[in-house]
Amino acid sequence: MAKVPVQFTLNGSEKAEFVESGTTLLHALRDKIGDTSPKGGCHQGTCGACSVIIDGELRLSCLTLAETCGGADIRTTAGLAEGGVLHPLQRAFLDGFATQCGFCTPGMIMAAKVLLDHTPNPSREDVVEALSGSICRCTGYEPIIQAVLAAARANSQNAA
């Protein structure tokens, strides 16, 4: 099949790749570009593990064709830390023991980031709603909900 060129920014840096037409963004990110932070859980849009942020919106990279991402601003969990300093969400997940096997974690963090970008002081219901597209086998969700609320509190303290 013919390859198509695609160019986008990933976590702030320019990427250019030739991909087979029909390649998912998940496949392009993991196997071509080498950013393995989005995980492939179901490859059919039901688990949330592959969530990334495209132009500020939460998207499932397993259901997004790479060739539709020309010119897009793509963000993944791998780009959150600044130097050695973890993003407040990463910090809160770590401090709150909100990750066990870690497979859902990047998707959860992406979903939480989009929430906090739009709603800096979310209610518990807001958090539950934001995470509802992601499934977790290990934690029972409560530690994840608490971590997102803790990150929101940390953010607003820093802002104050």
Partner 1 sequence: MAIRRGRGVAAINYPTGMNLGGDPTQALVHSTPTGNFMVTLSSVDLGQGMKQIMAQICAETIGVPTDRVVIDTADTDTGPHCMGTFASRGTHRAGNAVIQAAKEARQVMLEVAAEELEVNASDLETDGQGNIQVKGAPQRSISIFDVALSAHFKRGRSISGRGMFLIPRSYPEKETGAMKPSTCYAHACTVAEVEVDDETGEVTVLTVKNVFEIGRALNPKMVEQQLVGGSWMGISHALYETTEPYYPSRDHAGTDFNQYLMPGPGDLAETEIIVLERPSADGPFGAKGPGEMCANPQIPAVANAVFDAVGVRIDTLPITPERILRALKAQAAS
51 vs 37: CA distance, rounded Å: 10
From partner 1, ligand FES, none, interface partner of 62 (C-beta below 5 to 8 A by class): ligand FES
| 29 vs 33: CA distance, rounded Å | 5
Give yes or no for residue 103 binding ligand FES (CB under 6 A): yes
Q: What SS3 state is found at 130? A: helix
Nearer to partner 1, 8 or 141 (CB): 141
Residue type, 153: R
Interface pick for ligand FES out of 19, 33, 52, 62 (rule CB under 6 A): 62
Please report the beta strands in the chain, taking only residues with DSSP state E, as ranges in sequence order: 3-10, 13-20, 51-54, 57-60, 73-75
Pairing of strands 3-10, 73-75: parallel
Rule CB under 8 A: choose which of 60, 69, 112, 145 binds partner 1.
145
CA distances from 149 to 58, 73, 94, 105 (A): 19, 26, 13, 15
Q: Which of 56, 97, 101, 123 binds ligand FES (CB under 6 A)?
A: 101
At its nearest, how many Å lie between partner 1 and the CB of residue 156?
22
State the residues that interact with ligand FES by CB under 6 A: 40-43, 45-50, 60, 62, 99-105, 136-139
State the residues that interact with partner 1 by CB under 8 A: 41-42, 44, 46-47, 97, 99-103, 127-129, 131-132, 135, 137-145
